[in-house]
Amino acid sequence: MSNAELIAQDPGWIIALKSLIVFAACVVLTIMAVWGERRLVAKMQMRLGPNRVGKFGLLQGLVDGVKLALKEDLIPKGADRVVFVIAPIISVTTCFMAFAVIPISGEVSFFGYQTALQLTDLPVGVLYILATASVGVYGIVLAGWSSGSTYPLLGGLRSSAQVISYEIAMGLSLVAVFIYAGSMSTSEIVDAQSQFWYAVILFPSFIIYAISMVGETNRAPFDLAEAEGELVGGFHTEYSSLKFALFFLAEYVNIIAVSALATTLFLGGYRALPGLSFTEQWLGGWFTVVWFFAKVLFFFFIFVWLRGTLPRLRYDQFMKFGWKVLIPASLAWIMVVATLRVMTQQGSSQFLIASFIFAVVLIYFAVSATVEKSRLKLKAESQLVDVPTPDFPVPEIPKSRMEQLNG
Partner 1 sequence: MADELMPRSSENGLGKANEAKMPITNTEPATFTKQLLGFWVTFKSIFKKVNTVQYPEVKEPTAPRFHGRHQLNRHPDGLEKCIGCELCAWACPADAIYVEGADNKEGEQFSPGERYGKVYQINYLRCVFCGLCIEACPTRALTMTNEYELADSTREKLIFEKEDLLGPLRAGMLPPPHPMYPNTTDANYYRGEVTGSHPSQGEAKNA
- Interacting residues with partner 1 (CB under 8 A): 40, 42-48, 305, 308-310, 389-394, 396
Residue 72 or 396: the one with the smaller Cβ distance to partner 1 is 396
For the CB of residue 261, give the shortest distance to partner 1 in the complex, in Å: 23
Residue 52 or 373: the one with the smaller Cβ distance to partner 1 is 52
> How far is 2 from 57, CA to CA, in rounded Å?
42
CA dihedral 53, 59, 61, 66 (to 10 degrees): -80
For the CB of residue 266, give the shortest distance to partner 1 in the complex, in Å: 20
For the CB of residue 391, give the shortest distance to partner 1 in the complex, in Å: 4
Residue 178 or 301: the one with the smaller Cβ distance to partner 1 is 301
Exposed, middle or buried by CB within 10 Å (0-12, 13-18, 19+), for 66? exposed
Residue 390 or 407: the one with the smaller Cβ distance to partner 1 is 390
Residue 81 or 373: the one with the smaller Cβ distance to partner 1 is 373
For the CB of residue 89, give the shortest distance to partner 1 in the complex, in Å: 36
For the CB of residue 347, give the shortest distance to partner 1 in the complex, in Å: 40
> How far is 328 from 23, CA to CA, in rounded Å?
37
For the CB of residue 301, give the shortest distance to partner 1 in the complex, in Å: 10
For the CB of residue 390, give the shortest distance to partner 1 in the complex, in Å: 7
Residue 344 or 389: the one with the smaller Cβ distance to partner 1 is 389
Residue 48 or 273: the one with the smaller Cβ distance to partner 1 is 48
Output the 3-class SS for the chain. Answer: CCHHHHHHCCCHHHHHHHHHHHHHHHHHHHHHHHHHHHHHHHHHCCCCCCCCCCHHHCCHHHHHHHHHHCCCCCCCCCCCHHHHHHHHHHHHHHHHHHHHHCCCCCEEEECCEEEECCCCCCCCHHHHHHHHHHHHHHHHHHHHHHCCCHHHHHHHHHHHHHHHHHHHHHHHHHHHHHHHHCCCCHHHHHHHCCCCCHHHHCHHHHHHHHHHHHHHCCCCCCCHHHCHHHHCCHHHCCCCHHHHHHHHHHHHHHHHHHHHHHHHHHCCCCCCCCCCHHHHHHHHHCHHHHHHHHHHHHHHHHHHHHHHHCCCCCHHHHHHHHHHHHHHHHHHHHHHHHHHHHHHHCCCCHHHHHHHHHHHHHHHHHHHHHHHHHHHHHHHHCCCCCCCCCCCCCCCCCHHHHHHHHC
Residue 48 or 69: the one with the smaller Cβ distance to partner 1 is 48
> How far is 299 from 290, CA to CA, in rounded Å?
14
For the CB of residue 384, give the shortest distance to partner 1 in the complex, in Å: 12
For the CB of residue 306, give the shortest distance to partner 1 in the complex, in Å: 8
For the CB of residue 219, give the shortest distance to partner 1 in the complex, in Å: 15
Residue 112 or 393: the one with the smaller Cβ distance to partner 1 is 393
Residue 12 or 393: the one with the smaller Cβ distance to partner 1 is 393
